[in-house]
Amino acid sequence: MVDRDFTNKIRRTLIYIILAIGALSVPFFTQSPYILHILILTGIYLILAQSLNLMLGYVGFLSLAQTAFFGIGAYTSTILAVTYSQSFWVGLVLAIIIPSVIAAAVGIPFLRLSRHSFVISTLGFLLICWLIVRNWVEVTRGPLGIPGIPSPKLSVFNLLDLNFAGRVNYYILVIVFVLVLHILLTKLVRSRIGRAFIAIREDEALAQAVGINTMKYKMLAFSISAGIAGVAGSLFAHYITFLDPTVFEFYNLENILVITLVGGSGTIGGPMLGSIIFTILPELLRVAKEFRLIVYGAILLLTVLLMPEGIGGKFKTYLHKRRIREVYAK
């Protein structure tokens, strides 16, 4: 008999390929700017939600600072592009490096704290970033915001010359980022490092007792997640082409909490599902933003109360149970 794991792996790879082709071929079916706009934002929020997922779902630390790293990434990329006329790619690299370095710096004190204090200090960090961006007018222009952020361009000698100004091109760009992130994250959480993350989530003291340097792994996860949030920020800024301190508002935080939790934290597919649901849902609920947030709040509350593992977690349990039944049937 063929090895089950092997067939499963092939099946999973096939599903990914089909999903990838499906996602990339959307522009062949519709070029509606409205639909593409929604899908681009979904992709960006998915990347941000995955950064939260890595901390909350795998390491078990609820970080409210992810939207701060998103904002820092957005501002880094924007200031480089507008003030220093650097290309999107330079901005993108620094939008990964700077949030990661800041995360490592604040992680040294924050990650030593208990999980309670960690949540509150990350919230404090978010608000300090917000305050700094609003008041450091010489660099960020404060509440006025920075307009005219250029679209990304890619030219490789004379062979390739791409401009990501149009919605179709930007959509492809975002999807490529989503796919690359998906593959890298899946690899990461299944690696030795990922298993160390999960061990910390399950029991930090025990993880330490079996020789895992928990501080090192927590720092690593926090930095990686900040870098991922920075990528999302950079993509966001160059898409919207205007940036002001409202990126630090609670709206983004609430959005990714709902996407991650309802989709299922601790699974890579969960937030993906969550981001799709919470892109379609607001379009069905074409009402005031406040009303939508009330509904989101209610959904978040119900999820925490009734289904803390999220849809993704439920699915995982179902697959696990089926597998057990099959093994027993044999």
Binding site for another protein (CB under 8 A): 56, 60, 62, 109-110, 113-117, 119-121, 123-125, 127-128, 131, 135, 250, 254, 257, 261, 288, 290-291, 293-294, 296-298, 300-301, 304-305, 308
Written in H, E and C, the secondary structure of 96-120 is HHHHHHHHHHHHHHHCCCCHHHHHH
Q: Give least dist CB 163 to another protein, A.
A: 39
Give me the residues paired with residue 153 across strands.
163
Q: Say what angle helices 192-202 and 214-240 make with each other, to 10 degrees.
A: 110
Of 174 and 258, the one with the shorter C-beta distance to another protein is 258
CA–centroid distance for 195 within its chain: 20
DSSP string, 16-50: HHHHHHHHHTHHHH---HHHHHHHHHHHHHHHHHH
Of 41 and 261, the one with the shorter C-beta distance to another protein is 261
| Helix, strand, or coil (residue 163) | strand
Of 183 and 304, the one with the shorter C-beta distance to another protein is 304
Of 62 and 193, the one with the shorter C-beta distance to another protein is 62
Q: Say what angle helices 269-284 and 289-306 make with each other, to 10 degrees.
A: 140
Tokens of 238: 């160059």
CA distances from 302 to 71, 206, 308 (A): 29, 32, 9
CA distances from 228 to 46, 49, 127, 129, 180 (A): 10, 9, 20, 18, 11
Of 60 and 194, the one with the shorter C-beta distance to another protein is 60
Of 45 and 110, the one with the shorter C-beta distance to another protein is 110
Of 250 and 315, the one with the shorter C-beta distance to another protein is 250
DSSP state of 285: S
| Residues, the chain | 330
Q: Give least dist CB 62 to another protein, A.
A: 5
